[in-house]
Amino acid sequence: MAALKEGQVAPKFRLSAHPEGKVALEDYKGKQHVVLFFYSKGNTPGCTNEAVSFQALLEDFERAGAAVLGISPDDLAAHAKFAEKRGLSFPLLSDSGAKVASKYGVWKERSMYGRTYMGIERTTFVIDPDGRICRIYPKVKIAGHAQAVLEFVQSLKP
């Protein structure tokens, strides 16, 4: 699948989520921006730092008219433990089988300690209320990332 580009319509999804039940991109259409961040696994150091950073700024995202959604291949039980342990109140979506991650082009061959495997490349998408991708943050470095995304979202308000 070709890489997604800014300005393209974001691939639709409907996934099980903690604590909402089911969450679809369509739920936000015409209402607000969506900050969709893909992470590999809850309660790992990098993913924890990223999620906690978004949580710390959640009220600012909401004031700026954006919903924050985290998405990983973790199951709902793992999402529930992650949310409870880290105090996360935004939806965590379960992408079992990495179908949505594949549609978004973030399910990639990875390598660690000489071993190759398929996994998430940490990426954040900002999707506008019309369902178009307005910003892509590939290969995210965690330090300062949530703040940079917030500043971008705040710049979109009229």
DSSP code per residue over 95-142: -GGGHHHHHTT-EEEEEETTEEEEEE--EEEEE-TTSBEEEEE-S--S
Element counts in the chain: helices (H) and strands (E):
5, 9
Q: Both tokens of residue 38?
A: 């893909």
Residue 132 is predicted with a pLDDT of 97
pLDDT in tens, 74-121: 999 999 999 999 999 999 999 999 999 999 999 988 877 888 878 899
Residue 113 is predicted with a pLDDT of 82
Most confident of 19-28, 38-47, 113-122: 19-28
Q: Would you identify the CATH topology of the domain 14-156?
A: Glutaredoxin (3.40.30)
For the chain, what percentages of helix, strand and coil (3-state, to nearest 5) are there? 35, 30, 35
Residues 80, 18: contact at Cβ < 8 Å? yes
- Asked whether residue 28 carries a pLDDT value surpassing 70, the answer given is yes
Residues 129, 36: contact at Cβ < 8 Å? no
Instruction: Give the mean pLDDT of 21-44.
Output: 93
- Regarding pTM above 0.75, the answer is yes
> Could you tell me how far CA 57 lies from the centroid of its own chain?
14
Residue 146 is predicted with a pLDDT of 96
Query: Which of the following is catalytic: 10, 35, 36, 47?
Result: 47
- Asked whether residue 158 carries a pLDDT value surpassing 70, the answer given is no
pLDDT in tens, 47-64: 888 999 999 999 999 999
> Could you tell me how far CA 125 lies from the centroid of its own chain?
7
pLDDT tier at 35, thresholds 50, 70, 90: very high
pLDDT tier at 70, thresholds 50, 70, 90: very high
Q: Is 134 a catalytic residue?
A: no
